[in-house]
Structure 1
């Protein structure tokens, strides 16, 4: 999955829920996408449990803020690690940097258009 998919209805729901705190929270979440993605990549070769936890957190955070394609990649990594399919998880992790950067760019553009 190379395309970046953003679910604007999820963003609008979070915006409605968080009100004036939404903008700051979205900026923080984008930073968390970068941190969690980097943690997955840093640990996937030597600590599968830690990598799986980071992928789980990334999956959940991305889904809450409408970063659908990023969430799907993180889900694939998490499930592959949990099913002892490290090779598949590593293959999926090759998409992480692009998904994080692309999702962050689209979310930032969406926020600036409001």
Structure 2
């Protein structure tokens, strides 16, 4: 799966946040990792928490243009809501790959645009 970053979302967030944009983006990147880790840790023991973390990751990723990451998080969230736990678990490795790749692309964008 390729990693898709929608730079229009980043430009919009940068316009909206102004001087706070870089700090917010850096915080969001750390949140991607934290939320992915929470999904991984709770998917076997607390489906409600796993669903909540997948939902938060989906939303945060979409706000900052990490569309492919948002899509995988949405797939996990929807599978968990449908009680298709095995389907959700099958997406967790893809989620990890998307967090790593999306972070790299967003940091590259940040370096080239600032």
Task: Map 1:22-37 onto structure 2 (within 5 A).
Answer: 22-37=21-36
Q: Which residue of 2 aligns with 1:95?
A: 94
Partner Cα separation in structure 1 for residue 26 and residue 71 of structure 2:
21
RMSD: 0.5
How many pairs are equivalent? 113
Deviation at 1:34, TM superposition (A): 0.2
The CA deviation string for residues 52-71 of structure 1, in whole angstroms up to 9 with x for no partner, is 00000000000000000000
1:76 lines up with 2:70 in the alignment: no
Which runs of 5 or more residues in structure 1 are unaligned? none
Partner Cα separation in structure 2 for residue 24 and residue 94 of structure 1:
28
Task: Map 1:1-114 onto structure 2 (within 5 A).
Answer: 2-114=1-113
Runs of 4+ in 1 over 3 A off after TM superposition: none
Partner Cα separation in structure 1 for residue 35 and residue 5 of structure 2:
18
Partner Cα separation in structure 1 for residue 77 and residue 27 of structure 2:
22
The CA deviation string for residues 20-68 of structure 1, in whole angstroms up to 9 with x for no partner, is 1101110100000000000000000111110000000000000000000
